Amino acid sequence: MALATFGAGCFWGVEETFRKLPGVLNTVVGYMGGTKENPTYEEVCTDKTGHAEVVQVEFDPAEIRYEELLDVFWNNHNPTTLNRQGPDVGTQYRSVIFYHDEEQKRIAEASKQQMDQSGRWKNPIVTQVEPASTFWRAEEYHQRYLQKRGMDSCHL
């Protein structure tokens, strides 16, 4: 089993997107990349802790490759908007790939470069590629938020 961690805006919809993929064993939403230990949702929302809302994906590399997870990441958010996804604004909504080893770093950086050169977006990709740091699990009411409400995606 392996871990992948992505920030692509509000974690509710991002979690639901990854949770449904064959080969994904578990998803957990939380916070990563900030300075405060054990932050709460309210603290992260102040835009002062430096954390991103993230989804940590546990997956079986024999069933789904990391590259496939990256494809889902790129295809399910706008990686050209700095600290924003749709109506959600703040550093907690930034586009970020947190890599767990040097191989993930290499693959993520190559994928980002390929996407940036693809011409798919008129603006440059601003997605950050950073080493994974401490993952702080979000409060229980955030876990599988959309699934608990019988929803497939967030409605804007």
Three-state SS at 27: strand
Q: Within 13 Å of residue 151, how many CA atoms lie on the same side as its CB?
A: 12
CA-based nearest residue to 32, from 8, 53, 18: 53
Strand partners, 7: 96
Q: Are 113 and 127 in contact (CB under 8 A)?
A: no
Three-state SS at 15: helix
Contacts of 34 (CB under 8 A, 6+ apart): 44, 49, 50, 51, 52
Q: Quick check: is 10 catalytic?
A: yes
Active-site residue identified among 2, 4, 8, 10: 10
**Could you give the C-alpha distances from 100 to 19, 95, 118, 154, in angstroms and in order?**
19, 17, 26, 28
Active site residues: 10
